[in-house]
């Protein structure tokens, strides 16, 4: 899962709670990331502008300069991916965060597993692992044929009508046949947004794709749900 | 009627002012007239002078008359004379009958005086013969209307002032009474008396101010409810957090003592997960209750949603038998997939939980009215009729639920109800004749999206 690139990604952790900051940094280091810690807004902004980071974990409530202000100023010159961490779960703040250019949003409390899945998904997208220009134009997996240029799918010459999102989902799973793709990763890849608890958009698209594949005559267990992990095309 | 207050204020103001103008004019005219007459005692004095002059004249004592006239003129600082009038018609004309009886050179003492002339008029007291007159310029002391300017000032300034002030005071009290009651109610409310209401104190009155009172009452109702809900939520939440916190504390102590470490670390993780979901659910509940948001931005297919929730349930409860009857498609718009997913997930998980292993859960979705009806039947113990509504109250748990699910915190159905209502749907529970509980949910197929 956490396929940390040959180059170790550099992450800036901005969080005023020193204990939590230390814990996050420690756990990230143990997963092979390089980290840098900051405890207040102004210092964080200086570090973010002065060094190269692959990702910034940014708390909202910070001394001196709050997270949204840091984000605003950073975005004037840098497009470093930013993941907001906040204790306020209200919808408004989430929407506010996005409009101002955050790439993901993690409401507190969060578990480390959830955090690392999201970091991984975001980095895979931003570090170019999901660049589709390298993808083949067509995929053939047994009797299933996918044509990326025309967004067309056929199963044993039976056409399957898919929406662009459904096609992208099936394409991604088929491309990584046999590999379990995590939900946060698929959200970034297919829906181009963050994953959050109780969000079933991806599951609903997958259910629909599965129904269509079954109707076209495919076995029900080709599209597998790996509970607690993600989805896999066998 | 709209603008009641306007008409209520208009009537006394307009009518009162009109009446006032009329009364002031009438009284002014009347007083001026009344004050134009020479006072009775002065009339008598003048007549006595006339009589004296006539007596002296008749006596032929012209010397005495002259002395008397001289003395009178000096005493009263005026002009007086006795004259004979002798009207002679000329050029063949004749005198009218009036002139033959006598005519006047000055004014009768009983006539009104023109007060707007500054000079005093000449009074004429004719003698019995009709041709001789005692004439006297009215002495200043006998001139009527001495107090006319003061009376006019009183009438034109003091009276309107008094009446208008009275009117203003009546209007003020009419407006201030209710406002003062509102002020007192607001103060009482701000001091924590959440039960205070105003409309009833206004009695039968009905105007813009009572509308304001009704608005205040509605505000007090809603705010009071919110405060009570919040207080209850905080109290319940802190109470619910105590238990897992204590268990974590105990588990940590056990780990520190080296007792059964393998067993207690997962326990701590489980307790953390429990507290996390408790806090998240409580915050979502508070958000739904406080903001009462209308969640109407998503379109989704209920069949897809149920497919994915049921797939999870089958994984979590492998021994249960889920009989599912879904249409191929059930698209709805103006909804929220997140709210619906959580609500449906909670209800289905409940059904699985209370159904004994190996039991059946029937899930059916079919069109009904302008939307879809989702029914979830379990084979659990059902719910006592008197608790059928209570199970949707936050933190409420039946005795059965407390025994069966020590991990639950009684927020699932409360959340589900608010989530379903936020997407315009309905949810209710009923016992099945053959045993078990049926959860019945209805979702509108579309909702008008506000601009």
B339 and B425 part of one domain: yes
Query: How far apart are the CA of A5 and the nearest CA of chain B, in angstroms?
Result: 30
- Residue A197, chain B, CB below 8 Å: the answer is yes
Distance of residue B304 Cα from the nearest chain A Cα, in angstroms: 5
pLDDT of residue A100: 67
The answer to whether residue B124 is domain-embedded is: yes
For residues B233 and B384, the model is more confident at: B384
Average pLDDT value for chain B: 88
Asked whether residue B235 is domain-assigned, the answer is: yes
A224–B contact, CB cutoff 8 A: no
pLDDT tens profile B328-344: 999 999 888 888 999 99
Upstream peptide bond of B128 is cis (omega within 30 degrees of 0): no
C-alpha to C-alpha distance for B82 and B61, rounded to whole angstroms: 13
User: Same domain, yes or no, for B439 and B311?
Assistant: yes
The answer to whether residue B31 neighbours chain A at the CB level (below 8 Å) is no
* Whole-number Å distance between alpha carbons of A86 and A106: 7
Q: Is residue B272 part of a domain?
A: yes
- For residue B328, the chain A residues in CB contact (below 8 A) are 211
> Which positions 106-135 of A are in contact with B (Cβ < 8 Å)?
107, 109, 111
Task: Calculate how close chain A gets to B305, using CA atoms only, in Å.
Answer: 5
The residues with which B123 forms a beta bridge, in sequence order, are B107, B136
Instruction: Flag whether residue A92 sits within 8 Å of chain B, measured between CB atoms.
Output: no
Percent of chain B, pLDDT > 70? 98
Cα–Cα distance measured from residue B34 to residue B26, given in angstroms and rounded to the nearest whole number: 12
Q: What is the pLDDT of residue A2?
A: 45
**Distance (Å) from the alpha carbon of B349 to chain A's nearest alpha carbon:** 14
Both B287 and B333 in a single domain?
no
Residue B97 has pLDDT above 50, yes or no: yes
Chain B neighbors of A206, CB-CB under 8 A: 308
Q: Read off the CATH number of the domain in which B361 is found.
A: 3.30.565.10
Q: Which of B241, B257, B292 is the last residue of a domain?
A: B292
pLDDT in tens, B251-280: 888 888 887 778 888 888 888 888 888 888
Q: How far is B257 from chain A (nearest CA, A)?
A: 24
The predicted pLDDT at position B367 comes to: 94
Q: Average pLDDT in the B39-66 region?
A: 90
Query: Domain-by-domain residue ranges, chain A?
Result: 10-126, 134-233
Domain range enclosing B55: 40-85+99-146
Burial B19-42 (b: 16+ CB within 10 A, else e): eeeeebeeeeeebbeebbbbeeeb
Q: Going by C-beta distance under 8 Å and a sequence separation of 6 or more, which residues neighbour residue B240?
A: B278, B395, B409
**What is the structure's pLDDT at A133?**
55
Kindly state the DSSP code that residue A226 receives in the 8-state scheme. Answer: E
Mutate to test the interface with A, among B281, B291, B306, B307 (most CBs of A within 10 A): B307
- If asked whether residues B71 and B104 sit together in one domain, one would say yes
For the segment A138-178, what is each residue's pLDDT rounded down to a tens digit?
Answer: 888 888 888 888 888 888 888 888 888 999 999 999 988 88
- pLDDT at residue number A183: 87
Residues B257 and B304 in one domain: no
**B217 pLDDT tier (thresholds 50, 70, 90):** very high
Reading chain A (234 residues) residue by residue, the pLDDT tens digits are 444 445 789 999 999 888 889 999 999 999 899 999 999 889 999 999 988 999 999 988 888 888 888 988 898 888 888 988 877 655 545 555 555 678 887 877 788 888 888 888 888 877 765 555 567 788 888 888 888 888 888 888 888 888 889 999 999 999 888 889 888 888 888 887 777 777 888 999 999 999 999 988 888 788 889 988 889 998
Quick one: pLDDT at residue A4? 44
Give long-range contacts, CB 8 A cutoff, 24+ apart: B87-91.
Answer: none
More confident residue, B409 or B212: B212
Residue appearing with tokens 């009344």: B34
**Which positions in chain B touch A224 (Cβ < 8 Å)?**
none
Closest by alpha carbon to A3, among A189, A179, A159, A209? Answer: A179
The region of weakest confidence among A1-10, B148-157, B390-399 is A1-10
- Give, to the nearest 10 degrees, the angle between helix A91-99 and helix A67-75: 20
Average pLDDT of chain A is 83
| Strand A104-107, strand B298-301: pairing | unpaired
Contact yes or no for A200 and B337 at CB 8 A = yes
Rounded to a whole number of angstroms, the distance from the CA of A79 to the nearest CA of chain B is 29
What is the value of ipTM here, to two decimals? 0.71
Claim to verify: residue B126 and residue B236 sit in the same structural domain: no
Is there a single domain that holds both residue B392 and residue B263?
no
- Residues of B with Cβ-Cβ distance to A210 under 8 angstroms: 307
Task: Output B265 or B103, whichever has higher pLDDT.
Answer: B265
pTM of the model: 0.63
Contact between residue B208 and residue B4 where contact means Cβ atoms under 8 Å apart? yes
Answer yes or no: do B60 and B109 share one domain.
yes
Give Cα separations from B15 to B165, B166, B321, B439 (angstroms): 15, 14, 84, 67
Q: Answer with the one of B236, B257, B292 that is the final residue of a domain.
A: B292
Size (chain B), residues? 451
Residue B69's pLDDT is what?
A: 92
Q: How far is CA B173 from the centre of its chain?
A: 15
Domain count, chain B: 3
Return the CATH architecture of domain A10-126.
3-Layer(aba) Sandwich (3.40)
Q: Residue B291's closest chain A neighbor by CA?
A: A90
The CATH class of A134-233 is: mainly alpha
In this complex, which of B273, B293, B301 lies closest to A204 when CB atoms are compared? B301
Number of A–B residue contacts, CB under 8 Å? 59
Residue B71 belongs to domain with CATH number: 3.30.450.170
């Amino acid at each position: 899962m956490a396929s940390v690139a040959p180059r170790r990604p550099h992450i800036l952790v901005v969080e005023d709670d020193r204990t939590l900051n230390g814990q996050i940094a420690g756990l990230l280091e143990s997963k092979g990331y390089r980290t840098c810690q900051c405890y207040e807004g102004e210092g964080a902004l200086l570090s973010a502008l002065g060094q190269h980071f692959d990702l910034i974990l940014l708390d909202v409530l910070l001394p001196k300069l709050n997270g949204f202000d840091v984000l605003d100023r950073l975005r004037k010159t840098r497009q470093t991916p930013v993941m907001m961490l906040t204790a306020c779960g209200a919808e408004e703040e989430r929407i506010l965060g996005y409009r101002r250019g955050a790439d993901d949003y993690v409401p507190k409390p969060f578990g480390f597993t959830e955090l690392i899945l999201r970091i991984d998904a975001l980095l895979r997208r931003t570090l170019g692992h999901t660049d589709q220009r390298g993808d083949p134009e067509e995929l053939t997996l047994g009797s299933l044929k996918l044509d990326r240029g025309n967004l067309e799918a056929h199963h044993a010459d039976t056409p399957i009508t898919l929406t662009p999102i459904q096609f992208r989902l099936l394409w991604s799973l088929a491309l990584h046949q046999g590999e379990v793709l995590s939900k946060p990763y698929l959200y970034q890849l297919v829906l181009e947004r963050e994953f959050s608890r109780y969000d079933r958009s991806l599951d609903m698209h997958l259910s629909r794709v599965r129904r269509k594949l079954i109707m076209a005559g495919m076995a029900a267990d080709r599209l597998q749900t790996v509970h607690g992990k993600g989805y896999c095309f066998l | 009627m709209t603008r009641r207050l306007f008409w209520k204020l208009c009537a006394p103001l307009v009518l009162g002012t009109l009446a006032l103008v009329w009364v002031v004019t009438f009284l002014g005219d009347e007083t001026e007239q009344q004050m134009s007459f020479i006072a009775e005692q002065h009339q008598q004095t003048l007549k006595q002078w006339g009589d004296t002059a006539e007596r002296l004249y008749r006596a032929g004592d012209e010397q005495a008359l002259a002395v008397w006239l001289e003395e009178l003129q000096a005493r009263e600082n005026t002009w007086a004379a006795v004259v004979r009038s002798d009207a002679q018609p000329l050029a063949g004309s004749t005198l009218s009958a009036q002139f033959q009886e006598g005519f006047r050179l000055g004014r009768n003492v009983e006539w009104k005086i023109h007060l707007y002339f500054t000079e005093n008029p000449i009074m004429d007291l004719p003698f019995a013969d009709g041709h001789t007159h005692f004439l006297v310029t009215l002495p200043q002391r006998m001139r009527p209307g001495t107090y006319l300017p003061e009376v006019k000032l009183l009438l034109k300034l003091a009276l309107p002032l008094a009446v208008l002030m009275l009117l203003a005071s009546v209007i003020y009290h009419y407006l201030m009474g209710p406002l003062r009651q509102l002020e007192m109610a607001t103060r009482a409310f701000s001091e924590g008396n959440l039960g205070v209401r105003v409309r009833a104190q206004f009695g039968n009155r009905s105007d813009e101010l009572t509308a304001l009172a009704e608005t205040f009452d509605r505000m007090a109702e809603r705010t009071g409810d919110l405060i009570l809900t919040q207080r209850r939520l905080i109290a319940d939440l802190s109470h619910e957090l105590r238990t897992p916190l204590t268990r974590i504390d105990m588990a940590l102590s056990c780990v520190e003592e080296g007792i059964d470490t393998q067993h207690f670390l997962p326990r701590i993780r489980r307790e953390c997960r429990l507290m996390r979901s408790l806090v998240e659910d409580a915050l979502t509940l508070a958000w739904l209750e406080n903001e009462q948001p209308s969640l109407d931005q998503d379109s989704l297919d209920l069949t897809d949603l149920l497919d994915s929730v049921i797939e999870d349930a089958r994984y979590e409860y492998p021994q249960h038998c889920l009989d599912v009857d879904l249409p191929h498609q059930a698209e709805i718009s103006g909804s929220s997939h997140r709210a619906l997913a959580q609500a449906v997930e909670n209800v289905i998980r409940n059904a699985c939980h209370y159904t004994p292993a190996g039991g059946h859960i029937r899930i059916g979705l079919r069109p009904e009215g302008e939307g879809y009806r989702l029914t979830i039947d379990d084979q659990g113990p059902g719910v006592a009729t008197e608790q059928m509504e209570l199970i949707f109250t936050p933190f409420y748990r039946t005795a059965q639920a407390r025994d069966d699910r020590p991990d639950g915190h009684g927020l699932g159905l409360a959340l589900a109800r608010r989530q379903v209502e936020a997407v315009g749907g309905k949810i209710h529970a009923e016992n099945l004749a053959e045993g078990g509980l049926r959860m019945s949910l209805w979702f509108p197929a579309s909702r008008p999206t506000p601009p």
